């Protein structure tokens, strides 16, 4: 199943155009903080196998104010590179490839820099 074009963003990594999208509204489990932030990536030119990414923190719109961070294009680029190194082939038809990142994986993906989290209800 392809990622909807509405609400998705394009990003180019090594000359290949990808489409990525975060679900517009949280699921009930994501809203409660029981599940982490997830998003999907696929090839924009010839969609094949999608990449489903699960990150080790909550969505910014989680109802209970769990720790979170913004998903920036640099992070998406690094995640695409990591998924390609782990065997994701975006041109191949078939089931989605799941990449479940933990805290240490995220630090590695970010080039050794620890993520800076924020808690939404503590914003000024």
Measured distance CA(120)–CA(100) in Å, rounded: 23
Query: Comparing 94 with 115, which gets the higher pLDDT?
Result: 94
| Cβ neighbourhood burial of 90 (10 Å; 0-12, 13-18, 19+) | buried
How do the domains of the chain map onto residue ranges?
9-122
Residue 85 gets which letter from DSSP? H
pLDDT digits (tens, 9 = 90+) for 54-66: 999 988 888 887 8
CA–CA separation, 60 and 99 (whole Å): 20
0.85 surpassed by pTM: yes
Across 7-116, the runs of DSSP E, i.e. the strands, are: 9-13, 16-22, 38-43, 51-54, 97-100
Looking at residue 123, its pLDDT comes to: 53
Give the confidence band of 122 by pLDDT, cuts at 50, 70, 90: low
Classify residue 55 as exposed, middle or buried by CB count within 10 Å of its CB (0-12, 13-18, 19+): buried
């Amino acid at each position: 199943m392809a990622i909807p074009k509405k609400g998705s963003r394009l990003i180019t990594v090594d000359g290949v155009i990808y489409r990525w999208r975060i679900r517009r509204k949280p699921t009930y489990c994501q809203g409660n903080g029981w599940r982490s932030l997830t998003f999907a990536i696929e090839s924009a030119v010839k969609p094949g196998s999608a990449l489903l990414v699960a990150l080790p923190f909550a969505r910014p719109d989680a109802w209970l104010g769990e720790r979170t961070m913004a998903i920036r294009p640099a992070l998406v680029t690094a995640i695409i590179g990591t998924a390609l190194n782990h065997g994701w082939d975006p041109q191949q038809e078939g089931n989605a490839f799941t990449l479940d990142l933990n805290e240490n994986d995220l630090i590695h993906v970010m080039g050794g820099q620890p993520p800076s989290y924020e808690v939404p209800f503590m914003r000024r």
